[in-house]
Amino acid sequence: QVGEQFEQLAASMLETAPLDLRANALLTKRSELQKELKEAGIKAEPTPYSPWGLRVADKPALSRLEAFVKGRVEVQDEGSQLLALLLDAKRGEMATDFCAGAGGKTLAIGATMRSTGRLYAFDVSAHRLEALKPRLARSGLSNVHPAAIAHERDERVKRLAGKMDRVLVDAPCSGLGTLRRNPDLKWRQSPKAIEELTAKQTAILASSARMVKSGGRLVYATCSILPAENEAIAEAFAAAHPDFVPMDAGELLAGLKVEQAASLCSGGDSGSLYLRLWPHLHQTDGFFAAVWQRK
């Protein structure tokens, strides 16, 4: 996949990741937030792909800013913003962020839903969901329902079978797309660890897919660059679930007015079936996403 660009990829992984911010679309516009930051002495440039993103060169103390305290801005990598955009949850819908963690994507999805409908934030870690609470309080969102689940086959999940318009599965992964932020990850992975992760990813995707209703959208994502955690999982899922029709990520992003959408994607006959973000090409963390619509 990387081929002759391996050296560039490796070099990019040694660089410091920029600080990406997301304008909370429920409370402000990106241009207004940019102006507000400028007045506070912070120079921020619009990110090239996400319509909500601003990129800051240095590391300002954000937590003291009024924009931060009032929930108008969140820290979120541009790649992560694009995953929320790709889910494209609408007003009044039922949606689930299946591996919500501290809720960065949950908050972005809630804003696209304009704080209407219902958005479940599930995670097996109650501790990680705790970190979502103060962010949620600032965000102005009232449609988010965080819930700790025991595992992917939890009763709460079963009760929602066939009820969801949108489900995002940002699966637990090796995190090898985030080495710029977490350099020590590369010493913590092994072929056996990857094998255990891919088994978990397969199970989580199959289980969460049951929640998607007919005509609903399912997005599988990781912050890994390994094909074993990405294309291989997506292809196996598609083969085992013929009622889920693959959607072209490049076309979806172009429809959402993302600049150069096709250049963010690869795979399939179209060459843009999957979202494939690389630090050396897109200045984001390494991300993958596959999208399906249930028949």
Report residue 2's pLDDT band, with 50, 70 and 90 as the boundaries. Answer: low
Cα angle 176, 177, 182; round to 5? 70
On the 0-12 / 13-18 / 19+ scale of CB atoms within 10 A, 196 is exposed
Q: pTM, whole model, 2 decimals?
A: 0.95
Separation CA 7–CA 3 (nearest Å): 9
CB under 8 Å to 49, separation ≥6 — which residues?
78, 82, 258, 259, 260, 261, 264, 282, 284
Fold type of domain 3-17+77-294? Rossmann fold (3.40.50)
CB under 8 Å to 50, separation ≥6 — which residues?
22, 78, 81, 82, 85, 258
* Span 130-183, pLDDT tens digits: 999 999 999 999 999 999 999 999 999 999 999 999 999 999 999 888 887 787
Domain with CATH 3.40.50.150 in the chain: 3-17+77-294
Domain with CATH 3.30.70.1170 in the chain: 19-76
Phi and psi for 15 in degrees, rounded to 5?
A: -80, 160
Say whether 265 is catalytic. Answer: no
The answer to whether residue 201 scores a pLDDT higher than 90 is yes
Separation CA 289–CA 234 (nearest Å): 9
Structural contact between residues 9 and 279, judged by C-beta atoms closer than 8 angstroms:
yes
* Span 71-130, pLDDT tens digits: 999 999 999 999 999 999 999 999 999 999 999 999 999 999 999 999 999 999 999 999
The answer to whether residue 12 scores a pLDDT higher than 70 is no
Structural contact between residues 87 and 170, judged by C-beta atoms closer than 8 angstroms:
no
Separation CA 51–CA 82 (nearest Å): 9
Q: What dihedral angle (degrees, nearest 10) is formed by the CA atoms of 289, 285, 65, 102?
A: 50
Share of the chain above pLDDT 90, in %: 84
Separation CA 34–CA 45 (nearest Å): 8
CATH 3.40.50.720 fits 19-76, yes or no: no
Least confident among 10-24, 151-165, 193-207: 10-24
Q: Judging by DSSP bridges, how do beta strands 118-123 and 144-148 pair with one another?
A: parallel
What residues form DSSP beta bridges with 246?
A: 292
Q: Judging by DSSP bridges, how do beta strands 164-170 and 265-266 pair with one another?
A: unpaired
Cα angle 225, 60, 65; round to 5? 115
Q: Which listed residue (99, 173, 223, 265) is catalytic?
A: 223
